[in-house]
Chains A and B, each alone.
Chain A
Amino acid sequence: DQQVKQNSPSLSVQEGRISILNCDYTNSMFDYFLWYKKYPAEGPTFLISISSIKDKNEDGRFTVFLNKSAKHLSLHIVPSQPGDSAVYFCAASARAGNNRKLIWGLGTSLAVNP
Protein backbone atom coordinates (compact mmCIF):
# COMPACT_ATOMS: atom_id res chain seq x y z
CA ASP A 1 0.00 0.00 0.00
CA GLN A 2 1.73 3.14 -1.23
CA GLN A 3 1.54 5.90 1.36
CA VAL A 4 3.28 8.30 -1.01
CA LYS A 5 2.06 8.30 -4.59
CA GLN A 6 3.46 9.92 -7.67
CA ASN A 7 0.79 9.14 -10.19
CA SER A 8 2.63 10.39 -13.26
CA PRO A 9 5.50 8.06 -14.17
CA SER A 10 6.77 10.55 -16.72
CA LEU A 11 6.47 14.16 -17.80
CA SER A 12 7.78 15.99 -20.85
CA VAL A 13 8.21 19.76 -20.88
CA GLN A 14 9.67 22.31 -23.24
CA GLU A 15 12.77 24.20 -22.15
CA GLY A 16 11.88 27.51 -20.51
CA ARG A 17 8.39 26.38 -19.50
CA ILE A 18 7.18 25.35 -16.08
CA SER A 19 7.48 21.75 -14.88
CA ILE A 20 4.96 20.66 -12.26
CA LEU A 21 5.51 17.37 -10.50
CA ASN A 22 2.80 16.09 -8.20
CA CYS A 23 2.76 13.90 -5.14
CA ASP A 24 -0.11 12.65 -2.97
CA TYR A 25 0.09 11.07 0.44
CA THR A 26 -2.30 9.20 2.67
CA ASN A 27 -0.76 9.37 6.15
CA SER A 28 -1.88 12.47 8.02
CA MET A 29 1.00 11.96 10.47
CA PHE A 30 3.55 12.97 7.86
CA ASP A 31 5.02 16.29 8.90
CA TYR A 32 8.03 16.68 6.64
CA PHE A 33 8.27 16.31 2.89
CA LEU A 34 11.26 16.20 0.60
CA TRP A 35 12.02 16.10 -3.10
CA TYR A 36 15.03 14.30 -4.47
CA LYS A 37 16.43 14.28 -7.98
CA LYS A 38 18.13 11.26 -9.48
CA TYR A 39 20.30 11.03 -12.59
CA PRO A 40 21.06 7.63 -14.17
CA ALA A 41 23.83 5.68 -12.47
CA GLU A 42 23.86 8.08 -9.53
CA GLY A 43 22.21 8.13 -6.14
CA PRO A 44 19.31 10.49 -5.42
CA THR A 45 20.33 14.00 -4.40
CA PHE A 46 18.35 16.17 -2.04
CA LEU A 47 16.59 19.04 -3.78
CA ILE A 48 14.16 20.85 -1.50
CA SER A 49 12.00 20.17 1.53
CA ILE A 50 9.00 21.57 3.34
CA SER A 51 7.69 21.27 6.85
CA SER A 52 3.97 20.74 7.42
CA ILE A 53 3.76 24.10 9.21
CA LYS A 54 4.39 25.82 5.89
CA ASP A 55 2.54 25.78 2.61
CA LYS A 56 5.34 26.97 0.36
CA ASN A 57 9.11 26.81 0.20
CA GLU A 58 11.19 28.34 -2.55
CA ASP A 59 14.80 27.83 -3.56
CA GLY A 60 15.84 29.47 -6.78
CA ARG A 61 13.98 27.88 -9.68
CA PHE A 62 12.41 25.27 -7.41
CA THR A 63 9.28 25.79 -5.33
CA VAL A 64 7.42 23.19 -3.33
CA PHE A 65 3.78 23.73 -2.44
CA LEU A 66 1.99 21.80 0.28
CA ASN A 67 -1.79 21.45 0.55
CA LYS A 68 -2.38 19.58 3.81
CA SER A 69 -6.14 19.39 3.49
CA ALA A 70 -5.78 17.67 0.13
CA LYS A 71 -2.71 15.70 1.27
CA HIS A 72 -0.98 16.91 -1.85
CA LEU A 73 2.32 18.52 -2.65
CA SER A 74 3.85 19.69 -5.86
CA LEU A 75 7.25 20.72 -7.11
CA HIS A 76 7.44 23.58 -9.58
CA ILE A 77 10.52 24.17 -11.69
CA VAL A 78 10.59 27.51 -13.47
CA PRO A 79 12.11 27.90 -15.96
CA SER A 80 12.82 24.29 -16.84
CA GLN A 81 16.25 23.51 -18.26
CA PRO A 82 17.51 20.43 -20.13
CA GLY A 83 19.78 19.66 -17.15
CA ASP A 84 16.67 19.20 -15.04
CA SER A 85 15.91 16.01 -16.95
CA ALA A 86 16.00 13.34 -14.25
CA VAL A 87 13.78 11.19 -12.08
CA TYR A 88 12.18 13.13 -9.22
CA PHE A 89 11.21 11.37 -6.03
CA CYS A 90 8.82 12.66 -3.44
CA ALA A 91 9.40 11.45 0.13
CA ALA A 92 7.61 12.00 3.41
CA SER A 93 8.42 11.36 7.01
CA ALA A 94 6.70 11.23 10.37
CA ARG A 95 8.23 11.14 13.78
CA ALA A 96 7.89 7.80 15.53
CA GLY A 97 9.43 8.25 18.93
CA ASN A 98 12.97 9.41 18.37
CA ASN A 99 13.11 7.91 14.92
CA ARG A 100 12.32 9.19 11.49
CA LYS A 101 12.42 7.34 8.24
CA LEU A 102 11.42 8.40 4.78
CA ILE A 103 8.58 6.87 2.79
CA TRP A 104 9.21 7.26 -0.92
CA GLY A 105 7.11 7.59 -4.01
CA LEU A 106 8.01 5.64 -7.15
CA GLY A 107 9.31 8.69 -8.95
CA THR A 108 8.43 10.80 -11.99
CA SER A 109 10.79 10.89 -14.92
CA LEU A 110 11.05 14.46 -16.23
CA ALA A 111 12.30 15.15 -19.73
CA VAL A 112 13.01 18.79 -20.60
CA ASN A 113 13.26 19.19 -24.33
CA PRO A 114 15.47 21.90 -25.87
Chain B
Amino acid sequence: DARVTQTPRHKVTEMGQEVTMRCQPILGHNTVFWYRQTMMQGLELLAYFRNRAPLDDSGMPKDRFSAEMPDATLATLKIQPSEPRDSAVYFCASGSGRGTNYGYTFGSGTRLTVV
Protein backbone atom coordinates (compact mmCIF):
# COMPACT_ATOMS: atom_id res chain seq x y z
CA ASP B 1 0.00 0.00 0.00
CA ALA B 2 1.23 3.50 -0.83
CA ARG B 3 1.71 5.56 2.28
CA VAL B 4 2.65 9.01 3.46
CA THR B 5 5.80 8.85 5.57
CA GLN B 6 6.44 11.32 8.35
CA THR B 7 9.60 11.70 10.38
CA PRO B 8 10.28 11.82 13.22
CA ARG B 9 7.36 10.03 14.88
CA HIS B 10 8.12 11.69 18.20
CA LYS B 11 10.11 14.78 19.08
CA VAL B 12 10.82 16.27 22.47
CA THR B 13 12.64 19.57 22.47
CA GLU B 14 13.33 22.52 24.68
CA MET B 15 11.61 25.84 24.23
CA GLY B 16 13.48 28.05 21.81
CA GLN B 17 14.94 25.21 19.77
CA GLU B 18 14.32 24.75 16.06
CA VAL B 19 12.15 21.81 15.04
CA THR B 20 11.93 20.37 11.53
CA MET B 21 9.31 17.82 10.58
CA ARG B 22 9.49 15.96 7.28
CA CYS B 23 6.94 14.35 5.05
CA GLN B 24 7.26 12.13 2.01
CA PRO B 25 3.96 12.26 0.10
CA ILE B 26 2.66 9.42 -2.01
CA LEU B 27 4.35 9.33 -5.39
CA GLY B 28 2.16 11.05 -7.96
CA HIS B 29 0.13 13.03 -5.45
CA ASN B 30 0.30 16.70 -6.29
CA THR B 31 -1.40 18.14 -3.21
CA VAL B 32 0.22 18.16 0.22
CA PHE B 33 -1.27 19.38 3.47
CA TRP B 34 0.10 20.07 6.92
CA TYR B 35 -2.33 19.76 9.81
CA ARG B 36 -1.98 20.21 13.54
CA GLN B 37 -4.19 18.28 15.92
CA THR B 38 -4.92 19.52 19.40
CA MET B 39 -7.64 18.50 21.82
CA MET B 40 -9.27 21.92 21.77
CA GLN B 41 -9.04 22.79 18.09
CA GLY B 42 -9.22 19.40 16.46
CA LEU B 43 -7.52 19.24 13.07
CA GLU B 44 -6.28 22.66 12.01
CA LEU B 45 -4.98 23.23 8.51
CA LEU B 46 -1.62 24.95 8.66
CA ALA B 47 -0.60 24.99 5.01
CA TYR B 48 -1.11 23.27 1.72
CA PHE B 49 0.73 22.94 -1.53
CA ARG B 50 -0.28 21.99 -5.02
CA ASN B 51 2.42 21.02 -7.48
CA ARG B 52 4.91 22.19 -4.84
CA ALA B 53 3.55 25.74 -4.84
CA PRO B 54 2.12 27.05 -1.56
CA LEU B 55 -1.60 27.75 -2.00
CA ASP B 56 -2.70 28.61 1.49
CA ASP B 57 -0.71 29.05 4.66
CA SER B 58 -3.18 31.32 6.41
CA GLY B 59 -3.51 28.86 9.27
CA MET B 60 0.15 29.03 10.13
CA PRO B 61 1.73 31.45 12.62
CA LYS B 62 4.03 33.20 10.17
CA ASP B 63 6.49 34.53 12.68
CA ARG B 64 7.75 31.11 13.72
CA PHE B 65 6.40 28.53 11.28
CA SER B 66 7.52 27.88 7.73
CA ALA B 67 6.53 25.20 5.24
CA GLU B 68 8.34 24.26 2.07
CA MET B 69 8.45 21.63 -0.65
CA PRO B 70 12.02 21.55 -1.92
CA ASP B 71 11.03 18.77 -4.31
CA ALA B 72 8.05 16.57 -5.12
CA THR B 73 9.16 13.88 -2.68
CA LEU B 74 9.70 16.05 0.38
CA ALA B 75 7.66 18.55 2.36
CA THR B 76 9.01 20.20 5.49
CA LEU B 77 7.44 22.08 8.36
CA LYS B 78 9.79 24.10 10.50
CA ILE B 79 9.20 25.86 13.81
CA GLN B 80 11.78 28.36 14.97
CA PRO B 81 11.80 29.13 17.83
CA SER B 82 9.53 26.47 19.30
CA GLU B 83 7.24 27.21 22.25
CA PRO B 84 5.36 24.94 24.67
CA ARG B 85 2.03 25.88 23.02
CA ASP B 86 3.31 24.25 19.81
CA SER B 87 3.05 20.85 21.49
CA ALA B 88 0.65 18.84 19.36
CA VAL B 89 0.52 16.09 16.77
CA TYR B 90 1.41 17.33 13.30
CA PHE B 91 0.02 15.43 10.34
CA CYS B 92 0.97 15.54 6.72
CA ALA B 93 -1.52 14.39 4.10
CA SER B 94 -1.32 14.05 0.35
CA GLY B 95 -3.86 13.68 -2.42
CA SER B 96 -4.25 13.73 -6.15
CA GLY B 97 -7.34 15.92 -6.19
CA ARG B 98 -8.67 13.99 -9.17
CA GLY B 99 -12.03 12.32 -9.54
CA THR B 100 -14.95 12.60 -7.18
CA ASN B 101 -13.08 11.20 -4.22
CA TYR B 102 -11.31 14.01 -2.49
CA GLY B 103 -10.11 11.79 0.30
CA TYR B 104 -6.56 12.41 1.30
CA THR B 105 -4.02 9.98 2.71
CA PHE B 106 -2.54 10.93 6.04
CA GLY B 107 0.78 10.04 7.54
CA SER B 108 1.03 8.70 11.08
CA GLY B 109 1.97 12.09 12.45
CA THR B 110 4.80 13.65 14.43
CA ARG B 111 4.06 14.06 18.11
CA LEU B 112 5.88 17.19 19.20
CA THR B 113 6.46 18.05 22.84
CA VAL B 114 8.10 21.37 23.67
CA VAL B 115 9.22 21.65 27.28
Residues of A within 8 A of B (CB): 32, 34, 36, 41-46, 49, 51, 89, 93, 99-102, 104-107
Find residues 70-115 in chain B having any chain A CB closer than 8 Å to their own CB: 91, 93, 97, 100-109
Tally the A-B contacts, defined by beta carbons under 8 Å. Answer: 51
CA distance A105 to B104 in the complex (A): 16
B27 interface hit (Cβ, 8 Å): no
Q: Is the CB of A93 within 8 A of B102?
A: yes
Count B interface residues, CB 8 Å: 23
Segment at the A interface, from B11-19, B42-50, B61-69: B42-50
CA distance A107 to B93 in the complex (A): 18
Which residue of chain A is the closest to B50 with respect to CB atoms? A99
5 smallest beta-carbon distances between A and B, as pairs: A43-B106, A46-B103, A106-B42, A104-B43, A44-B106
Residues of B within 8 A of A (CB): 4, 33, 41-43, 45, 48, 50, 55-56, 91, 93, 97, 100-109
With a cutoff of 8 Å between Cβ atoms, the chain B residues found around residue A105 in the complex are 42
Q: Is the CB of B106 within 8 A of A45?
A: yes
**Least CB distance, B43 to chain A, in whole angstroms:** 4
CA distance A36 to B102 in the complex (A): 12
CA distance A86 to B109 in the complex (A): 16
